[in-house]
Structure 1
Amino acid sequence: MEKVRHQLFLPRPLSDRLEALAARPGASKSAILVDAVTAWLNRRGASELEDRFAIRLDRLTQAISRVDRDAYVILETLALFIRFELAIQTPLAENDKAGRALGAKRFEAFVMQVGRQVSTGRRTLGADAGDGE
């Protein structure tokens, strides 16, 4: 491998430490500096790699946030539906047209309540079941 000569200026304390390391058997200033520069450049390369992936990770974080929001809306809808079904909705006779019309009104109220809950950020799960919402 071809080698290139470099002339470096080091502060005296750092130069003294390099001299002490190079004085050990099997060590040389060149080998120590090659190892040090290689390690520094590798860390720098890792930082650049991290910078490249940061944009992609930010996009993934945003996508996960959207999925979390969608799951929240679905869970809120289900929780409100169960509350309406168990606490408010009464069983209807099959030929009860007035009851069916009332059911349609209640369904509209249900959809509006889901919208209100989601828009305000309130959660039915974890809320006191007797709060009248």
Structure 2
Amino acid sequence: MVEKIRHQLFLPKPVSDRLEALAAKPGASKSAILTDAVTAWLNRRGASELEDRFALRLDRMTSAIGRLERDGHIQLETLALFVRYELAIQAPLAENDSAGRAIAAKRFEAFIAQVGRQIAAGRRTIVDSFGAVAESGQ
């Protein structure tokens, strides 16, 4: 048998009247109703504490994801503008310029290889380039 401790409560008249009406039903008692109500309230409070503990961390993660999304948009816009600029200033190759196309293919392969090396090494060109400029005092 569970040990029970007596508590004396003061309830507002309307709440007390509702408790009396509920306890008047067969198989109900004030103690059982109040035990259920207090247990439910404590359980909700425990869930709220758990939410409070993780809310700050979730807010920080949401902010970080927002910054990553913003940075991704900046990178894509920068790349798109660069490509548009390059296509606007570079003259197209003539159809029969096989030497020019061969040089372009080699440059493209070198570019792809460099991107692969940078990613594999975990380096970022912008950070590395601007970090070197900042350290040299330029």
TM-score under structure 2 length normalisation: 0.61
Q: How does 1:24-43 map to 2 (within 5 A)?
A: 24-43=25-44
Displacement, 1:65? 1.7
> What percentage of residue pairs aligned between the two structures are identical?
77
Aligned to 2:46: 45
Aligned to 1:19: 20
Amino acid at match of 1:83: R
Aligned to 2:5: 4
Tell me how far apart the structure 2 counterparts of residues 65 and 12 of structure 1 sit (CA, whole Å).
51
Tell me how far apart the structure 2 counterparts of residues 89 and 2 of structure 1 sit (CA, whole Å).
88
Tell me how far apart the structure 1 counterparts of residues 17 and 91 of structure 2 sit (CA, whole Å).
89
Amino acid at match of 2:84: R
Q: How does 1:69-84 map to 2 (within 5 A)?
A: 69-84=70-85
Displacement, 1:67? 0.9
SS of residue matched to 2:4: coil
SS of residue matched to 1:24: coil
Tell me how far apart the structure 1 counterparts of residues 90 and 25 of structure 2 sit (CA, whole Å).
87
Tell me how far apart the structure 2 counterparts of residues 35 and 48 of structure 1 sit (CA, whole Å).
20
Amino acid at match of 1:47: S
Tell me how far apart the structure 2 counterparts of residues 51 and 4 of structure 1 sit (CA, whole Å).
31
> Larger relative CO (CA 8 A, sep 6+): 1 or 2?
1
Amino acid at match of 1:42: N
- Residues matched between the structures, number: 95
Tell me how far apart the structure 2 counterparts of residues 44 and 79 of structure 1 sit (CA, whole Å).
51
Matched, 1:65 2:66: yes
Tell me how far apart the structure 2 counterparts of residues 2 and 88 of structure 1 sit (CA, whole Å).
87
Tell me how far apart the structure 2 counterparts of residues 91 and 81 of structure 1 sit (CA, whole Å).
17
Tell me how far apart the structure 2 counterparts of residues 57 and 44 of structure 1 sit (CA, whole Å).
19
Displacement, 1:83? 1.3
Runs of 4+ off more than 6 Å: 92-95
Displacement, 1:91? 3.9
Displacement, 1:78? 2.1
Indicate the structure with greater helix content.
2
